[in-house]
A and B are shown apart, each in its own frame.
Chain A
């Protein structure tokens, strides 16, 4: 460990629901050093007044109940404690929360789609709890669109033997700012599958976190992002293995093109003393398509136990492989199409994992549209 680096396990220690417990970040902190604070439009320093509007439309599976609740609802804030200032700000500032409940042993017959549409100036704050009761199985889509300055916390509480698959699309307009925390809490033998797709927005900072309350949890987190000129798209993953015999797998891939296109990927995995038999792997790959684009990729793995089943990470950022392009061109395929095929292949391998056909097709065609530019 070099210079000012502290153990991972201490970096996430500061946790509080009280905004006053967090200093306004300066940009020098480990957690904020990659994020252009001046573009957060005040989400980090209390200056983003809640004057904006992000509308939530729900298309729920019939087996699922969806409620709009007040701040005092007992089900809120059970799966997490904010560990950064924007998360605490969002917790302090939201007015109504949405609670989605999948009843015990229910298997949903269709995906539940939450569409969040931003309109107009001013900030907005949100809170969503998705509670999957024991042995239930559900699929949930979060679809972010429009223009917004938005901070939120989303709790995914996955019960004993339950399974939750989520897709979170950040398909914002070009000027949107979104700072989001996903907090997945897995009970005994719970399964969590997360697929994050970030395409739009001026600045998106999404922090998917996973914690375990009992053995046997299994989390798989995939992500695809396409960063264009001027965009800052940041994904900060934290998997905190505090229970024995749990699994986690992370695979995030991005393509970047254009001046000042900036991707940040942080992959923190902690395997605590009690988390024997943990099996974890994390991977991040970036394809840098033009000059002027930058990818920061930082995997961190801290192992505090001697008994792991597997623990590894890999990170690679690079240009398109000349040999791939040559091979396709040598078969008559023009350069532009060869490039498209290779990039789509690189991201497509992950996109194929999206099980909802409609969403998969939408993501594929969004990637196609990016490549056509």
Chain B
């Protein structure tokens, strides 16, 4: 069982405070949805936890099973069991998907996977996400459609099997078919009950496929309301207006 604990997290970008005291605990077996309007700081939370150099932590803690992630390098955080599915996965020329995935799996598991097993896992993972086999030889994210990029993020999620997954607007830019395929991937990942999910989204649409246990409304760089799945339905009908007004 794992626990991700975010305690009074304050984060700035170039001296501008974006996160203003975020408190949140995600345990194995739980799915938390963070919902909020654009510019509320949702993605900042995701990238700050993962350790993107653009973000400065001004105070607070992020603990994964008691280990302060903020003391670790980006790759150490990933090896400790954190995964960030990115909203805009970057294109890396000349690095093939298969080479990248093998390097990542080797790093996270601490040893190189057996070639045949890895090939099998990769094929199964790709089949499940309806990813074409030729994909493995392509350069990382290069020329991928929006949907292909997101499927590829979920493929990594399933191969790396982190303790806690942060999914940053994985649903954005997906059509309904792709959304279903991606959601099924997330649900397979959740099925073991041994992993926690922090799902960041602007829309309630994905929550019909990936049912959250908790919903948090994010505005002005902090959580302003919390509840169960019913809160998402309220947001669906009423929108974010009441929250953006309150923090303006």
Contact = CB atoms under 8 A, between A and B. Distances in A.
A218 B108 CA distance: 47
A329 B92 contact: no
A214 interface: no
Interface in B133-147: 139-140
B93 A345 contact: yes
A328 B92 contact: yes
Contact of A332 (B51, B52, B108): B108
Contacts of A326: 52-53, 74, 90
Given A327-B89, A331-B104, A331-B107, A341 B95 contact: yes
B75 interface: yes
Given A323-B90, A331-B78, A335-B75, A345 B95 contact: yes
Interface string B62-103: 000000000001110111000110100110111100011001
A258 interface: no
Interface in A294-337: 321-324, 326-335, 337
Contacts of B51: 329-330
Contacts of B160: 331-332
B93 A329 contact: no
Nearest to A327: B90
A329 B100 contact: no
B106 to A, nearest CB: 8
A346 interface: yes
Nearest to B50: A330
Contacts of A328: 92, 95, 100, 103-104
B78 A349 contact: no
Given A322-B53, A326-B52, A326-B74, A332 B104 contact: yes
Contact of A342 (B77, B78, B79, B92): B92
Contacts of B61: none
B156 A345 contact: no
B99 A329 contact: no
A333 B95 contact: no
B50 A349 contact: no
A344 B75 contact: no
Nearest to A334: B75
A103 interface: no
B94 A333 contact: no
| A interface SS class | helix
Contacts of A106: none
B92 A324 contact: yes
Given A332-B108, A349-B94, A338 B75 contact: yes
A345 B94 CA distance: 4
Interface residues of B, number: 29
A327 B74 CA distance: 9
B139 A345 contact: yes
A255 to B, nearest CB: 12
A347 interface: yes
B74 to A, nearest CB: 4
A344 B78 CA distance: 23
Contact of A324 (B75, B90, B99, B104): B90
A347 B79 contact: no
Given A326-B53, A337-B103, A345-B139, A331 B94 contact: no
A237 to B, nearest CB: 22
A332 B95 contact: no
- Report which residue of B50, B52, B103 has the largest number of chain A beta carbons within 10 angstroms of its beta carbon: B103
Contacts of B93: 345-346, 349
A77 interface: no
B92 A332 contact: no
A340 B100 CA distance: 12
Contact of B94 (A321, A327, A329, A344): A344
Given A334-B107, A341-B103, A329 B74 contact: yes
Contacts of A25: none
Nearest to A343: B94
Contacts of A335: 73, 75
Nearest to A345: B94
Contacts of B103: 328, 331, 333, 337, 341
16 contacts: A322-B53, A324-B92, A326-B52, A326-B53, A327-B140, A328-B92, A328-B95, A328-B103, A330-B74, A330-B77, A331-B156, A331-B160, A332-B160, A334-B107, A345-B94, A346-B94
Given A346-B94, A349-B139, 8 more contacts: A323-B90, A324-B90, A331-B100, A332-B79, A335-B73, A344-B94, A345-B93, A345-B94
Interface of A: 321-324, 326-335, 337-338, 341-342, 344-349
- Nearest 4 A/B pairs, CB to CB: A345-B94, A331-B104, A332-B78, A329-B74
